[in-house]
Structure 1
Amino acid sequence: MPDSPTVGRRERKKAATRQAIADAALELFLEHGFERVSVRDIAERADVSTTTLFAHFPSKEALVFDREEEVEAALTAAVRERPEGQGVVEALRAHALRSWVQLASDPRLVRFTELVDQTPALREYGERMWMRHADALSTAIAEELGREPDDLACSALARFVLQVPTLAKGRRDPRATVETVFDLLTRGWQSQLDAEGAGTDSLAS
């Protein structure tokens, strides 16, 4: 049964409030530095109460990584919802080209990266999120291929894929960088499959 117009408006309002808080936080962090900005400062800039802020974000660090749940959901969906006949590596290549090339070319990425690199609390939080994404992606790959959840090859692929945005950042041609990395991954996966005596259509083709 479809949502009522009232529910739809409520969800849109919640999303708009969340985005306004995240935007205000990033603006203040870039202007003054993470440590010098308080949660109250952010709430005032976004014109919300601190209670409302914490209803949307569990911590100050989470304000910087406000899209991480979407990032993780998109990664796993790229694997689980790939077209019939498309291998896992090629599905992840398509996702990277669709989602990460534009990001790597965004000039705001430099300031964001500097903010994270210069703030120990954000570096630590970012590393935890990276590992969470790697675990989720590895699990999705293993499930799709009928392998054990802790399969080493699936874990390695997930971690290599998540390095692609870092490798593409600042490159003159991010798209070519993504293609090069996935060409290498495809050949590596084929070698791994050949060594196991597995079929060639489950991953790369």
Structure 2
Amino acid sequence: MEEGLRERKKRETRQRIADVAMGLFLQRGFDNVTVAEIARVADVSVNTVFNYFPAKEDMFLDRSEAAEGMLAQVVRDRRPGETVVEALRRDFFDALDTGDWRYGMTEGSDMFARRVRESPTLVARLQVLDVERELRLARELADATDADPDDLTPYIVAAQLCAVVRTLTRHFAVRRLAGEDTALIVADIRGHAERAFDLLERGVGDYALRWPETGPTAPTPPTPRRDHAQVPGQPG
């Protein structure tokens, strides 16, 4: 119980620092806020701040670890009989329906995007986050398909999946920054996302399909789809 209490207090302190920092960043801009100011408002020492956050941008991106591993987790948790594209489609629309933050399509995301645009440090950091997210997804795909170390397929598929997510998220942010209504954008995003995932299905198809477990009560594995575009001159 003592260890649990200690860990809980640590989490609460970290969250308080992150909340205070984000409030100041959104109000005044990332580059206009110092770590000393954050420490003072959060009622902790500067050293305590750095104990939890090695750099100032870590406070702005305090969910970076979850964001970097998000798509890899979607692949890891895909259902039996589900392809990676189907899993990503399902997770994307779940976030859209519930208003979850993980794809950046929520109220207040325009302020987040505006502060990022104002700061070269944050722009660079988000680029690193994107690269790491794609790499972690590629490694998960490689594990899921038992790919040869020289096989570039997991990295090519990861690049396509991340490009779709990045494009949809950027489209939402640009329209919010232009002052458009969130509900209207989300309604349009649905159509764009369906089209994007349909394109991925035709291109990536059944790659990394998770087969149901075998056994006396397991369902028969589904026949792999052949929904790729027909090659001219070849039989359908």
TM-score (norm 1): 0.82
Aligned to 1:34: 30
Runs of 5+ unmatched residues, structure 1? 194-198
Aligned to 1:91: 87
Task: Select the residue among 12, 18, 25 that pairs with 1:22.
Answer: 18
Task: Select the residue among 192, 200, 204 that pairs with 2:224.
Answer: 200
- Work out whether 1:175 is the aligned partner of 2:204: no
How far apart, in 2, do the equivalents of 1:19 and 1:82 lie? 30
Q: Equivalent residues in 2 for 1:48-197 (5 A)? A: 48-99=44-95, 102=99, 103=101, 104-149=104-149, 151-163=151-163, 164-168=165-169, 169=172, 170=175, 171-173=185-187, 174-190=189-205
Aligned to 1:196: none
Q: Report the CA distance between 1:135 and its aligned residue.
A: 0.4
Q: 1:76 to 1:180 in 2, by over 3 A?
A: same
Q: Report the CA distance between 1:153 and its aligned residue.
A: 3.3
Measured on the aligned residues, the alpha-carbon RMSD in Å equals: 2.6
Q: Report the CA distance between 1:95 and its aligned residue.
A: 2.3
- Tell me the number of residue pairs that the alignment of Structure 1 and Structure 2 aligns: 193
Instruction: Give a deviation string over 1:131-159, Cα, whole Å, max 9, x none.
Output: 01110011101110122356433223323
Q: Report the CA distance between 1:61 and its aligned residue.
A: 1.1
Q: 1:26 to 1:13 in 2, by over 3 A?
A: same
Greater shift in the superposed pair: 109-118 or 150-159: 150-159
Q: Report the CA distance between 1:59 and its aligned residue.
A: 0.5
CA contact (8 A) 1:80 1:140 kept: yes
Q: Report the CA distance between 1:39 and its aligned residue.
A: 0.5
How far apart, in 2, do the equivalents of 1:110 and 1:150 lie? 41
Which structure: larger Rg?
A: 2
CA contact (8 A) 1:100 1:165 kept: no
Q: 1:51 to 1:162 in 2, by over 3 A?
A: same
CA contact (8 A) 2:83 2:206 kept: no
CA contact (8 A) 1:25 1:63 kept: yes
How far apart, in 2, do the equivalents of 1:150 and 1:79 lie? 21
